[in-house]
Amino acid sequence: MREDLLKRHLELVIEANKTTNITRISTWDEGMLLHVQDSLVGLPELREAPEGRMVDIGSGAGYPGIPLAIESGRSTLLADSVGKKTAILASMVQTLGLDNVDVYTGRIEDLAREEPASFAAVTARALAQLSILMEFASPLLQEGGRLICYKANVSDEEMEHALSLQNRLAMKLVSDRIVELGKNHRRIICFEKTGTPHVKLPRKTGFAQKRPL
């Protein structure tokens, strides 16, 4: 049943992609490897997060959020600022009959203002550099909650900068591993919310990218 839902979701993504550009992957085999299997790479980290809601930020075509929601059964919010994408996501969720999944249209900072410290896990795939993801996730997460970052290539500089902000953002590195996916590889970097950040979060909308810490 779960496998059928994963395949049906990919079918819907490929279909939607014919009229709206929601992914650069257009073939079934590529989609199964680089979307579905890739999304499920972070499942062990999600299982280590406390019980509670998960939010997938910058969800796009619903990866990794929808596969993780299907496999884990967690209450999940798919968040994206592009209305065209969230309309497609909402339609997919309805078609798949996923009662544990909701969709949010808006900026991540606005979600953090509306639902502070409401999530046990935040996932983000190929969205931004680690320090920005830490800043986005910190006000969304409850204490002990996990940020699960799906990354490809992380420079030493990006990693060092992220580690230098751990105390300021109350986000501590807890795990870092690499998984081979065909000819590609996926790096899963996970941070835990440790308490109250030393900077008022969220900052003004857009500041995380325009004026990174």
User: Is residue 109 within 8 Å of 203, Cβ to Cβ?
Assistant: yes
pLDDT for residue 12: 96
Domain range holding 107?
A: 1-210
Return the CATH number at 168. Answer: 3.40.50.150
Mean pLDDT over 90-111 rounds to 97
Contact 38, 150 (CB under 8 A): yes
Residues making up the annotated binding site for S-adenosyl-L-methionine are: 58, 63, 108-109, 125
Reported as a single tens digit per residue, the pLDDT across 124-174 is 998 999 999 999 999 999 999 999 999 998 999 999 999 999 999 999 999
Total domains present in the chain? 1
Q: 21 pLDDT band (50/70/90 cuts)?
A: confident
CB distance 85 to 60 below 8 Å:
yes
Digit-coded pLDDT (tens) for 83-96 = 999 999 999 999 99
pTM across the whole model: 0.96
Q: Which residues are annotated as a binding site?
A: 58, 63, 108-109, 125
